[in-house]
Amino acid sequence: MEATQSLEFKGLKRRPTSTYMHTSAAPKEAPKKKNQRGLEVLPKEIKKYNISGKIVFGIFYILCLALFIGSILVYINWQGKLSNSVDKIASLQAQYESCKKENDAKYAEINSSVDYEEIRRVAIEELGMHYASEGQIVTYTDNEANDFVRTIKPID
């Protein structure tokens, strides 16, 4: 039995190939071979390069599946990184709050340890300082709202 491949499995039919020749010496066409079901048999040249559609579809399906699985793995990886980042942010926020509470406690401790009466006593008794009288207080106003005042002559 001759091993031939037919177009039957693809559901295709071959188009009739007829060439019209204007000469009387037209070559005689050989009768086409047909298999048991009446379908035409593919010539060996076509059969040699014929790639089955099922193989192409199978490769396409495998590539799509690989792409889908790869995208799922990338998504899971990103979700894991996001979860780690959220946990790290929460831990840093807790650490920040702890440092802020410590800082506020130290600031309050420093402010409470300052004895303003002792500072006043040392300034008046040991350093000879005294409160300013009414004529010694000079008030400056700056219309340009600068942070400093320029003195042109010494203040008496």
Mean pLDDT taken over the chain: 77
The residues near 138 (Cβ < 8 Å, ≥ 6 apart) are 155
Task: Return the SS3 of 118.
Answer: helix
Q: Say if residue 103's pLDDT is above 90.
A: yes
Identify whether 54 is part of a domain: yes
pLDDT in the model for residue 1:
45
pLDDT in the model for residue 19:
57
For residues 16, 21, 22 and 24, what is the CA-based torsion angle, rounded to 10 degrees? Answer: -110
Identify whether 144 is part of a domain: no
Quote the CA–CA distance of 129 and 46 in Å, as a whole number: 115
Identify whether 155 is part of a domain: no
Identify whether 152 is part of a domain: no
- Structure pTM? 0.40
Identify whether 65 is part of a domain: yes
Q: Residue 97: give the domain boundaries.
A: 34-129
Identify whether 136 is part of a domain: no
Identify whether 117 is part of a domain: yes
Identify whether 119 is part of a domain: yes
Distance, C-alpha 85 to centroid of its chain: 14
Q: Are 40 and 14 in contact (CB under 8 A)?
A: yes
Q: How many domains does the chain have?
A: 1
Nearest one of 64, 70, 53 to 10, comparing CA atoms = 53
pLDDT in the model for residue 36:
55
Q: Are 155 and 138 in contact (CB under 8 A)?
A: yes
End-to-end CA distance of the chain: 130
Mean pLDDT of 88-109: 95
pLDDT in the model for residue 37:
57
Mean pLDDT of 26-32: 59
pLDDT in the model for residue 132:
86
